[in-house]
Structure 1
Amino acid sequence: MIRSSVLPALLVLSVAPAALAQPPGEPAPAAPAEETPAKPAEEAAPKPEEAAQSAPADEKSGPPAPPPSPLEISVVGTRVQQTSGSAHVVTPKQLQRFKHDDPHKVFLSVPGVYIRGEDGFGLRPNIGIRGALSDRSKKITLMEDGVLFGPAPYSAPAAYYFPLIGRMDSVRVVKGPSAVSFGPHTIGGAIDLITAAIPSERRGMIDLSTGQFMHRKLHFRQALADDNYGVLVEVAHLGTDGFKELDGGGNTGFSRTELMLKGRYVFDPTAKVVNELEIKAGYGGEDSNETYLGLTDEDFRENPYRRYGASRLDHMEWNRTQLQLTHRARFGRKLDITTTLYRHDLHRIWRKVNGFRGAAISSVLANPEDPRAAVFYGVLTGQIAPSTPEETLLIGPNDRKFVSQGLQSTISYRPRTGPVRHRIEYGVRIHYDSIRRLHTQDGFLVEGNELVPEERFTQTTADNDASTWALSMHASDAATWGPLTVTVGARMESIRSEMDDRFEGTQTITVQQVIVPGAGVFVALPRDLGLFAGVHQGFSPVPPGQTVPVRPEKSVNYEAGMRWSPRRFRAEIIGFYNDYKNLTNICTFSTGCVEENLDQQSDGGAARVLGVEAYAESELKVRENLAIPGRFSYTFTDARFSTDFQSADPIFGNVRAGDELPYVPRHQLSASVGVEMPRWGANLSGTYVSAMRESAGQGEPAPGTATDAYFLLDASVNVRVLRWLSVYGLGRNLLDDAYIASRRPYGARPGAPRWLMIGAKADF
């Protein structure tokens, strides 16, 4: 529990470097990163050489300063050129160039971010940052408009829900010391998805596309606004019949729909204190024929897009509602207070193949030549009729209900003490989330491509409730004196979790409290060069319901680099080192865990992750009306355990010191280049990811224990037919590279094949 005597000190000590400000030239976001109000472009700090000659904008009267170039974004009130940590923004223009519907494709363009493919669509992304395990993105902080969007970020951090990336206006990734502002997970970093802001005028658009595999997409947005009020309505629908070929025929695709309504009211835009209220309501739903069942390596080589008929009944359905109320108060140009009240509800039912009564499917698919496994493989593929109860296939729904709600507030203050300019932030969040699990399964007999009910009793495998109350506070000060910017602070998390397991007849309570510090420094050099370095503590809490004593995940993370940022160009190179005191993983079905280990944490002890990130981005104007945009990112990572241990989590297994971490690629590269004119544009993108281990190990991976290295080539072309109408064409995986994207949880699973689409977008 929290001691009252500790709270006042924590209010002063806790930190959070703030959110990234919206790139100018694009609509400003409704809310930035967690607990942090947006910074208008005119409030971003001037370059160091400018600061030495004049007072900052927030102390001047008169009109705001002109907006910076599209590549100038800000962190903790300082432009990215001056920030002491790593920060990247995928801008609206960059998102529109390729119109990716798979969020994995978007994050692969950001250095230091790794993904593990699963279904080829990115329905439930697996994202890791700087060595943090990628399974269900549970080791990073995920936000939409600054609010945690995971179904239950503390009680069940596995992100089985992810918003449609196609309706986002921009994407922000924060790493390094700045990550301590975004809790509860500060190990790798934070991701904030920014939805469309309410514009200051009447504006709308509709985007329609179709393509192979019965791809269909609709994106509609309409806004009405004046100086006092604004309303925005958005509808996004995405669907396909799927690219996998189910034995015996059938749909292997999905259908998703998301609705959003925003309303804004400004009481008096000319008042000394400007008060604004904004309400955001949303609904989302998915109906997908998705499975965890993959293939043997031999079947994958014959047809990588085959799907066994045993997965015919696999089906996911979920519905989600969200409601947020935000109040913003602006006291002149030095002080802002932003407060948000939020609630999200998610109900999902996933009916899927869980295994045989007498064998694990992962073992069967990994060794189909083994005499015993061969029988189960024959039953699984419909070649052999089941003859014993052990050969019965167990299929059942995992029924889960989630609640996530809370109240968060941030104060941003920009004073000056002598020659030193400060960007100070204080924030607090009170959060509650819960999960209700009811897992059942029934037996089915595989007869050819049909599944026949065994007609025995329904087995209940899990029946529990978990909930968490969490109080988090943060504070930070980014102080600039001439060419020097120093950012310091810390974050506090106080967490009380409870698990009521009706299936086992047990109750457990977990209490955690931690202060997470961080600091960084930036030194501006002549000719737009800068040096920066930082250190922060990584933390990831223990989830509720642990049956054995475990420790939180903790690390000390270091980074240092150089940045060059002349106008319309940004390049940087960063070295990072994460020293894990205790690397952990939480067992999930997606990693192949059995029911009795579900949501149990495994401690991996000491580990170290080191690497180098290189990044360059430009909007080169060759001449008037001709631009050549380019983007390049490369990440080298070496991630290894430092201790020996044994784990029931199959993604770890029996580990020896020196073993490489699973699903962390050694090399990852992404590059894009384009030609853009007022009437047309074309862009080409290439992505390379080296092979990844599917469990810890050393040396050359044994056959069947790693993913494939792959190279994906994507392209887009658009033509403006009328002032308000554009048509476009998209090509994914143009070289039609068939590769194993994952082996979790059951067998080899492919990435998406070549995929061609055409569409039209109207602006009005």
Structure 2
Amino acid sequence: MQPSRVSLALISILGLSVTGAHAAEVESTATENQENIYEVLQIIGSKEDARQLAGSSAVIDNEQLTIEANTDINQLLKTVPGVYIREEDGQGLRPNIGIRAAAGGRSSKVTLMEDGVMIAPAPYIDPAAYYFPEAYRMHTIEVLKGAPLLRYGPQTTGGVINMITTPIPLENSGKIVAKMGEFNTQDIHAYYGGRSGDFGFLIDTVQRSSAGFKDIDRSSRDAGFDIEDYLLKFSWTGERQSLLAKVQYSEQVSNETYAGLTDADFAENPNRRYGLSEIDQMTNQHNGYSLTYTLDVTDNSRLSAIAYRNEYKRDWFKTSTNSFINAANAGDAEAQAILDGTMDAQDLRYTHGNRAYESYGVELNMTTMLANHTLNVGVRDHNDTLDRYQPIEVYDQINGSLVFDSVIAPTGGDNRLEGGDARTFWINDAWQASADLLVNLALRYENVETFREQFSVPDRSVPGSYRSNTTKEWLPGVSFTYDLDDAWQVLAGVHRGFSPIGGGASETDEPETSTNYEAGVRYTNGWFVEALAFRSDFNNQAEVCSLASPCSNGATSGTYVTGEAVVQGLEFQLGHELRAGEFNLPVHFNYTFSDAEISVDNPITGVAKGDRLADIPEHTMSMRLGLEHDSGWNNYVVAKYMDETCVRVGCNQNESPFSYTESVFVVDLISRYPLSQQATVFLKVDNLFDQQRIVSRTPHGARPNKPQTVSVGLEYSF
């Protein structure tokens, strides 16, 4: 790596490339910045940058997003090594994403960002991602692992996912992508923007609707959704400074449920839904605001300041069928009859999962180049609040229909306030020690104060029970790359991992911490090959418990600390483009092996050495193949495999089939044909061979991936 690449860090967008891992910024980004386009908040850059960082990473670039026309973030991230997906609804509405040692329950153990700003509803006190940005409106998706992720947080064990929205165009222009498919599915992404002098703007929207692929017993109601998403950007650029304002609003109504199926019913029809779940529905609304200011203090220093606020409220009205499904799986005929609607049942409880979140903060960051060092120093003050008020409606099932009975006002765990204040500091040094050796030193400090007040009366007229927690953690890390020659590079790193303990923690509770290692080699010479080994040693591995993702001990709130554990494995990726006459054949292959086990007996929780951890598959794989013709008629195949996973810790010690999900192999086909320079039509077949498996057993029973789905679309630029 040449020293000249380090200097590019000084013109990285908004100065957010903060370690030596980020020193190699894309040439195109540098050119745009020289034109005073200070907008897109990247943490990596391009695919080429990802292949030079002193930490493993990946970029799903705009080309891949355009080709696959995917609305499901799960399917996109399955093409990234080291990423684990536990599907839930088959449509990607509420993803469960894990990275390496960070298991995937509600994506609560990874740091989620949009344009460099944390996007989970409450990243510190309740990071479960019941809100997730629309993948269909993203321009690029970045995944950062290893020691460089210490710049970002608060989750620093597994990885960071940064989703980059549509940038303001250089010239007045726009684009519409419209797709229609089976199950009455309609997806539209449209934007228009441009610049006039020092000012720029962008108007961006996504409109999606579907009837869903499941059929509800004895009901005319569909199992689909309606989504509206709007994004506005306004920018101003001066000689040495810039300002960017961003406003986002979205709302969703989805007839989704926590109810899965018994294994016997799944085998007969995986796309069935029990009539008990007929009235289940999620409604939510998200508002996001950010204001970013940058100032080139000197030719070698840049200051950036970001103020942000996210507001999210939702009500997931749903029933729990877990006890009936478990009993029916065990052979209880009455439980099965209640699920089938042939037996009456009383006191069926439907909870309003009614919660309101606010997260807001201010971040300051200074990037300075001194000799062979690129220093990055920053601070962030962040606040989370959560108001949970969840009344319960009681119904009876009579002759297969639901009949309203009464309302139970919320108390206890259904009626509580939570809050948190986090102050964070970081310093990173990218030191170009020689022409071939790049060393990255990182130090992060987290000071987190949380509280929970839980009320015993619905109107909160009596002070509730109170608990609080204070956590202070220093998180060091170091990584390096060394160029053996023009083609071969070695890299390695070690860093301390941290996961906040959440708003329900008491003063004696301790956060999850780990020591994380990675080492490997890269080859870049026409072919790109990368092989990495990783290992995470946990002092106190913990699961985050929720109704959507119960812990291994059955808890649906708080955390379940299993103790010392080790997650280790291998990641391999290969990329190449072959040329044959009029054809271009791009090939990309990824494979991940993971071994995740308890490493020491824990007599308190009852887990034992050798127990497999939950939600981490042993084998995952993806392959993307293209057949591109000079005429522009291009065809692609995307194949994805994920091994079976444990539903709870120690499933390898349990012969029950209900302790595992099933392995699944899915192939997607895409064909694109240009009608003109502005217009392209495309055909997509998701799950070409219609392979449906039990990809999840939480929440509440066996759940399938999406069946074969055919769609057609038009992409038009103007």
Q: TM-score, normalised by structure 2?
A: 0.91
Per the alignment, residue 554 of structure 1 pairs with 513
Q: Deviations over 1:221-275 (max 9, x none)?
A: 101214411100001011210000110132101111110000111123xxxxx11
Question: Residue 563 of structure 2 aligns to a residue in which SS?
Answer: coil
Q: Deviations over 1:719-757 (max 9, x none)?
A: 110121110011100100020010012110111000000
Which of 444, 450, 453 in structure 2 is aligned with 1:491?
A: 444
Are the equivalent residues in 2 in contact too, given 1:399–1:438 (CA < 8 A)?
A: yes
Distance of 1:29 and 1:742 partners within structure 2: 39
Q: Aligned in 2, Cα 1:552/1:75: closer, same or farther, shift over 3 Å?
A: farther
Distance of 1:678 and 1:259 partners within structure 2: 35
Distance of 1:404 and 1:584 partners within structure 2: 24
251-260 or 504-513: bigger deviation? 504-513
Which of 568, 575, 585 in structure 1 is aligned with 2:533?
A: 575
Distance of 1:31 and 1:528 partners within structure 2: 29
1:393 aligns with 2:359: no
Distance of 1:31 and 1:479 partners within structure 2: 17
Per the alignment, residue 426 of structure 2 pairs with 474
Per the alignment, residue 601 of structure 2 pairs with 644
Per the alignment, residue 370 of structure 2 pairs with 415
Per the alignment, residue 3 of structure 2 pairs with none
Q: Aligned in 2, Cα 1:39/1:381: closer, same or farther, shift over 3 Å?
A: same
Are the equivalent residues in 1 in contact too, given 2:392–2:410 (CA < 8 A)?
A: yes
Q: Deviations over 1:175-203 (max 9, x none)?
A: 11112111111011111001111121111
The letter of the residue matching 1:354 is S
Are the equivalent residues in 1 in contact too, given 2:271–2:704 (CA < 8 A)?
A: yes
Q: Aligned in 2, Cα 1:292/1:645: closer, same or farther, shift over 3 Å?
A: farther
Per the alignment, residue 119 of structure 1 pairs with 89
Q: Deviations over 1:361-388 (max 9, x none)?
A: 4532432x14xxx3233223211123xx
Distance of 2:168 and 2:325 partners within structure 1: 49
548-557 or 334-343: bigger deviation? 548-557
Q: Aligned in 2, Cα 1:241/1:38: closer, same or farther, shift over 3 Å?
A: farther
30-39 or 244-253: bigger deviation? 30-39
Per the alignment, residue 342 of structure 2 pairs with 383
Identity %: 31
Question: Residue 170 of structure 2 aligns to a residue in which SS?
Answer: coil
Per the alignment, residue 219 of structure 1 pairs with 189
Which of 359, 363, 385 in structure 2 is aligned with 1:434?
A: 385
Shift of 1:552: 0.6
Distance of 2:552 and 2:100 partners within structure 1: 28
- Counterparts of 1:580-729 in structure 2 under 5 Å? 580-592=538-550, 597-622=555-580, 626-645=583-602, 654-676=606-628, 677-697=630-650, 698=652, 701-729=655-683
Q: Aligned in 2, Cα 1:541/1:654: closer, same or farther, shift over 3 Å?
A: same
Q: Aligned in 2, Cα 1:709/1:30: closer, same or farther, shift over 3 Å?
A: farther
Q: Aligned in 2, Cα 1:351/1:479: closer, same or farther, shift over 3 Å?
A: same
Shift of 1:675: 1.9
1:344 aligns with 2:310: yes
Which of 701, 704, 710 in structure 2 is aligned with 1:756?
A: 710
Distance of 1:138 and 1:33 partners within structure 2: 24
Question: Residue 502 of structure 2 aligns to a residue in which SS?
Answer: coil
Per the alignment, residue 531 of structure 1 pairs with 490
The letter of the residue matching 2:229 is E
Q: Aligned in 2, Cα 1:283/1:406: closer, same or farther, shift over 3 Å?
A: same
Per the alignment, residue 152 of structure 1 pairs with 122
Q: Deviations over 1:289-321 (max 9, x none)?
A: 000101110001111100000001100000111
Question: Residue 155 of structure 2 aligns to a residue in which SS?
Answer: coil
Q: Deviations over 1:310-347 (max 9, x none)?
A: 00110000011111100011246522222110011111
- Counterparts of 1:225-304 in structure 2 under 5 Å? 225-249=195-219, 250-268=221-239, 274-304=240-270
1:744 aligns with 2:698: yes
Distance of 1:499 and 1:520 partners within structure 2: 38
Q: Aligned in 2, Cα 1:670/1:343: closer, same or farther, shift over 3 Å?
A: same
Are the equivalent residues in 2 in contact too, given 1:547–1:600 (CA < 8 A)?
A: no
Are the equivalent residues in 1 in contact too, given 2:62–2:139 (CA < 8 A)?
A: yes
Per the alignment, residue 360 of structure 1 pairs with 323
Distance of 1:392 and 1:483 partners within structure 2: 70
Are the equivalent residues in 1 in contact too, given 2:505–2:558 (CA < 8 A)?
A: yes
The letter of the residue matching 1:339 is A
The letter of the residue matching 1:430 is D
Q: Deviations over 1:615-665 (max 9, x none)?
A: 122344556x74322211000001001233478xxxxx8522211011111
Which of 383, 386, 396 in structure 2 is aligned with 1:445?
A: 396
Q: Aligned in 2, Cα 1:73/1:128: closer, same or farther, shift over 3 Å?
A: closer
Q: TM-score, normalised by structure 1?
A: 0.86
Shift of 1:592: 3.7
Shift of 1:587: 1.1
Distance of 1:442 and 1:594 partners within structure 2: 28
Per the alignment, residue 41 of structure 1 pairs with 26
Per the alignment, residue 6 of structure 1 pairs with none
Question: Residue 213 of structure 1 aligns to a residue in which SS?
Answer: coil
Distance of 2:407 and 2:69 partners within structure 1: 48
Per the alignment, residue 290 of structure 2 pairs with 324
Are the equivalent residues in 1 in contact too, given 2:151–2:442 (CA < 8 A)?
A: no
Shift of 1:566: 2.6
Distance of 2:309 and 2:86 partners within structure 1: 29
Q: Aligned in 2, Cα 1:381/1:594: closer, same or farther, shift over 3 Å?
A: farther
Are the equivalent residues in 2 in contact too, given 1:75–1:83 (CA < 8 A)?
A: no
Shift of 1:44: 9.0
Q: Deviations over 1:510-553 (max 9, x none)?
A: 11111100001211012411011110001011112235842210
Shift of 1:76: 13
Are the equivalent residues in 2 in contact too, given 1:30–1:195 (CA < 8 A)?
A: no
Distance of 2:542 and 2:326 partners within structure 1: 24
658-667 or 73-82: bigger deviation? 73-82
Structure 1 stretches of 5 or more lacking a match? 1-17, 46-56, 58-62, 65-71, 269-273, 648-652
Q: Aligned in 2, Cα 1:169/1:588: closer, same or farther, shift over 3 Å?
A: same
Distance of 2:399 and 2:282 partners within structure 1: 24
Are the equivalent residues in 2 in contact too, given 1:738–1:751 (CA < 8 A)?
A: yes
Are the equivalent residues in 1 in contact too, given 2:553–2:560 (CA < 8 A)?
A: no
Are the equivalent residues in 2 in contact too, given 1:361–1:746 (CA < 8 A)?
A: no
Q: Aligned in 2, Cα 1:609/1:687: closer, same or farther, shift over 3 Å?
A: same
Which of 375, 378, 383 in structure 2 is aligned with 1:424?
A: 375
Q: Aligned in 2, Cα 1:41/1:593: closer, same or farther, shift over 3 Å?
A: closer
Shift of 1:570: 2.4
Q: Deviations over 1:417-468 (max 9, x none)?
A: xxxx222211111101110001121221112442111236555451111111
The letter of the residue matching 2:329 is A
The letter of the residue matching 1:632 is F
Distance of 2:65 and 2:297 partners within structure 1: 34
The letter of the residue matching 1:257 is E
Q: Deviations over 1:493-523 (max 9, x none)?
A: 1111121111382112211111100001211
Q: Aligned in 2, Cα 1:497/1:225: closer, same or farther, shift over 3 Å?
A: same
The letter of the residue matching 2:401 is E
Shift of 1:599: 3.0
Shift of 1:80: 3.8
